Amino acid sequence: EDKVVQSPLSLVVHEGDTVTLNCSYEVTNFRSLLWYKQEKKAPTFLFMLTSSGIEKKSGRLSSILDKKELSSILNITATQTGDSAIYLCAVVNTGNQFYFGTGTSLTVIP
Amino acid sequence: DSGVTQTPKHLITATGQRVTLRCSPRSGDLSVYWYQQSLDQGLQFLIHYYNGEERAKGNILERFSAQQFPDLHSELNLSSLELGDSALYFCASSDSGGDETQYFGPGTRLLVL
């Protein structure tokens, strides 16, 4: 059965800390891995990763895919309270089906 | 504001009923995706339409159906509703048929009593 697992389930850090969120997958016919941020509303797209070892970066957020290990990490440096959210990882197969993890809930305290 | 609109925002109905959720994609976007988000199951992909054609199906129950119309808006029909169908239903759109950036609508919160 295709599945995506995220860890940790939740995380509480202080402002300024650096966090690493993990996503591992077992999905046949992998095409891409996506990261989303979900606050109290709809998810917003962060990154799409298709190739191993190529880091995608946006401000304090970065992500990398390891196809050998079937995993990806999302790093957030110098965290701010506005980073508090649920971070979702999704894997898309070549049949264009999406498999989501249950998310990591990040709380950043001042 | 993502540019994707969904109506209604909230819906309360009874078991056994049928409802229709509507989604208007961003201007120019050809793809529409439907998702269900519940507390116990997280975000689940239901179905994807591209320019009026069904492109991919996920965990969509047989009681659920969707379609995309020539003007590219989409409807998700849920019938014979059960308590477990209570969830937030999101629609997302993108400008292509691939898995590039998707823009999510605000969702329709369905409560089945």
| Contacts B103 to A, Cβ<8 Å | 45
In the predicted model, residues of chain B with pLDDT beneath 50 are none
Q: What is the mean pLDDT of residues A1-30?
A: 96
CB contact under 8 A, A41 and B107: yes
Partner-chain residue, chosen from B42, B56, B105, that has the shortest CB–CB distance to A97: B56
What average pLDDT does the segment A96-100 reach?
A: 90
* One-letter identity of residue A22: N
Question: Given an 8 Å threshold on Cβ–Cβ distance, is A34 in contact with B99?
Answer: yes
> What is the per-residue pLDDT for B99?
56
Q: How many CB pairs under 8 A join A and B?
A: 53
The answer to whether B23 and B69 are in contact (CB under 8 A) is no
pLDDT value of position B44:
93
Tokens of A58: 């946006």
Would you list which residues of chain B are within 8 Å, Cβ to Cβ, of chain A? 2, 33, 35, 42-45, 48, 55-58, 90, 92, 97-107
Chain B hits for A42, CB-CB cut-off 8 Å, are: 2, 90, 92, 104-107
Write down the pLDDT at residue B97: 61
Query: Taking all residues of chain A, what is their mean pLDDT, rounded to a whole number?
Result: 94
SS3 category, B40:
coil
> Which chain B residue lies closest to A86 (C-alpha atoms)?
B42
Distance of alpha carbon A45 from the chain centroid = 10
d(CA B22, CA B97) in angstroms, rounded, equals: 20
Q: Which two tokens stand for residue B68?
A: 């995309």
* pLDDT band, very low/low/confident/very high, at A15 (cuts 50, 70, 90): very high
Between CA B31 and CA B53 the distance in angstroms is 9
CB A59 within 8 A of CB A46: no
Tens of pLDDT along A53-94?
889 999 999 999 999 999 999 999 999 999 999 999 999 999
